[in-house]
Amino acid sequence: MARMGTNRNWVDMKNFVPLPYRRVAVREVDFPLTAQGLRENLLHREAYRRTEFIVLRRGNEHAIARIERANADDLFSPITFVELLAAPSECVWTDDDTIDVGNPSQLARKARERGISKSQTLIVHGKYEHVNFIHHPEPTVIHVVDVIPPEPAKLWTMANQVLAFADDLPAIELQYTPIDLIELAHENPAPAYLFPCQASHIDVGAPIYFLDTRPALRDWTLIGCERSMQFHQHFYGAVPPQVDYCPRYRTEDDGELILTKCCLLETHIECQGNRAIVPWGATMRHIDEALRYLASRIEEDIPTVVLETETIGDC
């Protein structure tokens, strides 16, 4: 993704995270952290060619300046423009050496933990002593819908693992929406239940059986999806009472972004409106592709993540 031009309204941007974070410098200063104080003290001073933002610290106060330089190619060049991106009243500094400050979703999660509002800016002193910020955090919410038990659901765990490393995705907040098979059984009383496969901690107060062990046919209710019904018909030549738990059919495209799964898919994902559906045995690549599709559904005039175009060997 190319670097943004200077015609953007940077101050009002949301979810803005400078990437790579070497674009952010940190300075201890003794002048007022106001727009005038920044201009009077930063204009015409030299700045490194990669510096575009300066986190200024004055005691317990913090502010962020955006700068432009006379020559972007020189190693050091005079500052020709200074803008107050975030004033002290808007900035919150936090130390957390578990946060990768190059990952927008991790920064957004920390902002939520700290109670940072979408009108504030969180500055994080994170892993490896690096510093970065997220300006006006308002991450894209994606609901992860999967079946339990076991818990936590596999799709939830894998989606979080993908976000932990996907530093080129915008700020995303995952929300967990499990479909509980035990609750479904309690809501549908039956003399016995048949579940698709053996899972731990299933206790519904009635005899239970597992389709993958191919037990003798009984008077049961199938807690299973379309594929499970296909198996049942193949094994027994019969259609039992069924409670279909398939996440694909228990979710609707109602405007919320949804990541879910379906065992009728085997090798590919399906993207339908605001839903991305991955195979039951999804890989990390499937989930990464699905998250990218869902993130693209949020139409923003201003990109939330800005990456420099790098040249191999340029340092």
pLDDT in tens, 147-168: 999 889 999 999 999 999 988 9
Whether residues 27 and 61 share a domain: the answer is yes
Domain boundary among 138, 168, 198: 138
What is the DSSP code (8-state) at residue 217?
P
Whether residues 172 and 292 share a domain: the answer is yes
pLDDT at 200: 61
Whether residues 55 and 93 share a domain: the answer is yes
Q: Is residue 25's pLDDT more than 80?
A: yes
* pLDDT tens track for 237-277: 999 999 999 999 888 878 899 999 999 998 999 998 999 99
Whether residues 129 and 143 share a domain: the answer is no
Whether residues 162 and 293 share a domain: the answer is yes
Q: In this structure, is residue 305 part of a structural domain?
A: no
Q: What is the number of domains present in the chain? A: 2
Q: Give CA–CA dist 133/18, Å, rounded.
A: 7
pLDDT at 296: 92
Q: In this structure, is residue 311 part of a structural domain?
A: no
Whether residues 71 and 84 share a domain: the answer is yes
Q: Name the residue range of residue 55's domain.
A: 10-138
Whether residues 173 and 129 share a domain: the answer is no
Domain boundary among 108, 138, 168: 138
Q: In this structure, is residue 60 part of a structural domain?
A: yes
Q: Helix/strand/coil (H, E, C) string of 154-183? A: HHHHHHHHHHHHCCCCCCEEEEEEEEEHHH
Q: In this structure, is residue 205 part of a structural domain?
A: yes
Q: In this structure, is residue 171 part of a structural domain?
A: yes
> Contact 16/44 with Cβ under 8 angstroms?
no
Q: In this structure, is residue 308 part of a structural domain?
A: no
E-strand spans in the chain?
17-19, 24-28, 46-48, 53-58, 61-69, 76-86, 91-95, 121-125, 131-135, 140-148, 172-180, 193-195, 208-210, 221-223, 242-243, 257-262, 270-272, 275-279, 305-307
Whether residues 188 and 41 share a domain: the answer is no
For 119, phi then psi, to 5°, come to -100, 0
pTM value? 0.84
Mean pLDDT of 295-311: 51
Whether residues 193 and 56 share a domain: the answer is no
Q: In this structure, is residue 309 part of a structural domain?
A: no
pLDDT band at 7 (very low <50, low <70, confident <90, very high): low
Both tokens assigned to 228: 């499970």
Residue 141's DSSP bridge partners are 173
Q: Give CA–CA dist 135/314, Å, rounded.
A: 28
Question: Beta strands 221-223 and 257-262: pairing type?
Answer: unpaired
Please write down the long-range contacts of 262-271, taking CB distance under 8 Å and 24 or more positions apart: 262/225, 263/225, 263/227, 264/225, 264/226, 264/227, 269/293
Whether residues 175 and 225 share a domain: the answer is yes
Which residues lie closer than 8 Å to 189 by C-beta, 6 or more apart?
Answer: none
Write the burial class of residue 214 (CB in 10 Å: 0-12 exposed, 13-18 middle, 19+ buried): exposed
Residue 66's DSSP bridge partners are 53, 83
Q: In this structure, is residue 1 part of a structural domain?
A: no
Whether residues 179 and 88 share a domain: the answer is no
Whether residues 132 and 43 share a domain: the answer is yes
Helix (H) or strand (E) holding 292: helix 284-296
φ/ψ bin of 129: left (φ > 0), alpha (ψ from -120 to 50), beta (otherwise) = left
Mean pLDDT of 206-227: 95
Domain boundary among 138, 161, 179: 138
